[in-house]
Amino acid sequence: MIVAFDSIPEEARVWVFQSDRFLTTAEESGLSRATGAFLESWTAHAADLKSAFRIIDHVFLVIAVDERNTGASGCSLDKLHQFVKQAGSQLNIDFLNRLRVTYLRGDDALNSVSLTELETLMSHGEVMAETKVYDVTVQTVAELKTSFVRELKNTWLNRYRLA
């Protein structure tokens, strides 16, 4: 069962899928329709999952589930990943590459690079500890609201930071 994203509680679980390129308006529209259809029929052990989605900054597909009544199970999570993989394939986009990093450049423009490219940018001083990055490891709606965009030094990426 799909609901409005704003009606999902703060403790709801989220999954963030990062595109390997920016989505066009037409692609976002098609992805929204497909995601809505998927979530409308998404279940765990034959019980509807109260879920919502949001596309953020033309890069991130965020799925949220209110697990107070029914939690996402192994099979339902497999279905979610199959859906995301299939949707990406139809758009020629990889949503499952966890080695991409999106960050805000000094002019507040988004830039998406591989982890290897990020390390190079860090070594050249183009990305620093204070650079704002999108942390796709957030796990709840509350974390999405408060910790999705934060300084690199406050994320798991800090381990790649040079002195």
31 neighbors 87 (Cβ within 8 angstroms): yes
- pLDDT of the residue at 17: 97
Q: Confidence class of residue 44 from pLDDT cuts 50, 70 and 90?
A: confident
| Tens-digit pLDDT profile for residues 67-99 | 888 878 888 899 999 999 999 999 999 999 888
Q: At which residue do the structure tokens 């497999």 appear? A: 78
**pLDDT(146) > 70:** yes
* Digit-coded pLDDT (tens) for 98-133: 889 999 987 788 999 999 999 999 999 899 999 999
DSSP strands (E only) in the chain = 13-18, 43-44, 47-48, 50-56, 60-66, 100-104, 110-114, 132-134, 149-151
